Amino acid sequence: MSIEADFYELLEVERGADNASIKSSYRKLAMRYHPDKNPGCKDSEAKFKAISEAYDCLKDPQKRAAYDRFGKAAFQNGGGGGGGHQDFSGFADIFENIFGEFSGRGQRQARRGADLRYDMEIRLEDAFHGKKTEITIDVSAACETCDGTGAKPGTGAKTCGTCAGHGKVRAQQGFFVVERTCPSCHGAGQTIADPCNACHGEGRVDREKTLDVTIPPGVDEGTRIRLSGEGEAGARGAPPGDLYIFIHLARHSVFEREGTALFARAPISFTTAALGGSISIPGLDGATHEIRIPAGIQSGKQIRQRGAGMPVLQGRGHGDLVIQIDVETPTRLSAKQKQLLEEFRETETGDECPNSKGFFAKIKDMWDLT
């Protein structure tokens, strides 16, 4: 296959392939055509360079979009794909070229590693007390064989001949001089003539890493914890990205949370509702909270226990514990209980339940009007 072939054909993937498929196919092909596995084979060497160039383009969303639209012409002489089309993204490079010399942005910068996301589900108890735990992630880490340089031990990177180490090249477009990322070193300013066998010149390898994580008290659904420098390793010794841990709370059997408040539904007997009393609620703090029930309480009434809720994240104090009362009507009565209730009903005047009395009075008035 000619090294001028389509990038997708070189990597043996479809045009709509996702990043994971492209990366997987590239690794298999790189292993197959690596010069160390095919010593003296010029065709394998050319193929290895071609698939490396294809992967470097397609793994970058912006480069891939430009390639899908204009092909290789997108990276040649500042072109925009032919047909007299003017690529207006070049004006961003023009301004960077003009003002970058004053701000320092025109200098070559290392490509920082990508940030990673990790979703962690914890219990409500862990969110209350905090927690120390371990997580294991798959991450691209700096290659230990070459210390992240990408070059075979004993060798080193060389100054790029295309851009003379600047990481950018200039092209004339009419009256303007446009500065673009160097197509040979892709902005690194250096090229690897003899790549490391372990990482194939990337300066990083995939491995499993175990990290200690501290969950502070008071975290809520969606809380984000940042672990600086624990993301993807940067290319060829560049700084690593960060790891962001997103907290998710598992459903609790008793409590529901809203901010720092804890909510629970407590069913009570109709005698307790009528006569008053107290109930015991075990809190997440390990203490037992006595909730006083006033006589005559109705279903749906909420009783608030101050300071028995969730802790304030990175602050002081706690929210409230809110108990919603559900008056439960008995469904199983003994003969004696039924007799006692019958005796109670015989003594009822209607004043015991003013809401019921008022409702039926309104109903009677409505029928009298008709």
pLDDT in tens, 51-98: 888 888 888 888 888 788 777 766 654 444 443 333 433 334 434 433
Give me the CATH code for the 111-248 domain, please. 2.10.230.10
| Cβ atoms 306, 327 nearer than 8 A | no
User: How far, in Å, CA of 293 to CA of 298, rounded?
Assistant: 10
**How far is it, in rounded angstroms, from Cα 294 to Cα 284?**
24
Candidates 24, 54, 48; CA nearest to 35 is 48
Strands 116-122 and 243-249: parallel
Annotation-wise, does 41 bind a ligand? no
DSSP for 32-53? HH-TTTSTT-HHHHHHHHHHHH
Other Cβ atoms closer than 10 A to 219: 24
**Residue 57 annotated as part of some ligand binding site:** no
Question: Residues 262-276: pLDDT tens digits?
Answer: 999 999 999 999 999
Do residues 198 and 219 make contact, with C-beta atoms less than 8 angstroms apart?
no
Compute the average pLDDT of residues 150-178: 80
What number of residues does the chain have?
370
Residue 196 in marked binding region: yes
Domain boundaries, the chain: 1-87, 111-248, 256-369
- Strand, coil or helix: what is 74? helix
pTM above 0.85, yes or no: no
What homologous superfamily is domain 1-87 in, according to CATH?
DnaJ domain (1.10.287.110)
Instruction: Report, as an integer, the average pLDDT of 197-214.
Output: 88
Structural tokens at position 106: 């025109």
User: How far is Cα 25 from Cα 36, in angstroms, rounded to an integer?
Assistant: 19
In tens, the pLDDT along 11-43 reads 999 888 888 889 889 888 888 888 777 888 888
pLDDT, position 174:
61
Answer yes or no: same fold for 1-87 and 111-248.
no
The CATH number assigned to the domain with range 256-369 reads 2.60.260.20
Alpha helices, DSSP H, located in the chain: 7-10, 19-33, 42-58, 61-70, 90-103, 124-129, 270-275, 335-346, 354-369
The answer to whether 199 is a known ligand-binding residue is: yes
Cα 303 to Cα 298: distance, rounded to the nearest angstrom: 11
Residues 6 or more apart in contact with residue 116 via CB below 8 angstroms: 137, 139, 230, 231, 232, 241, 242, 243, 244
Question: What residue has token string 């469904």?
Answer: 331
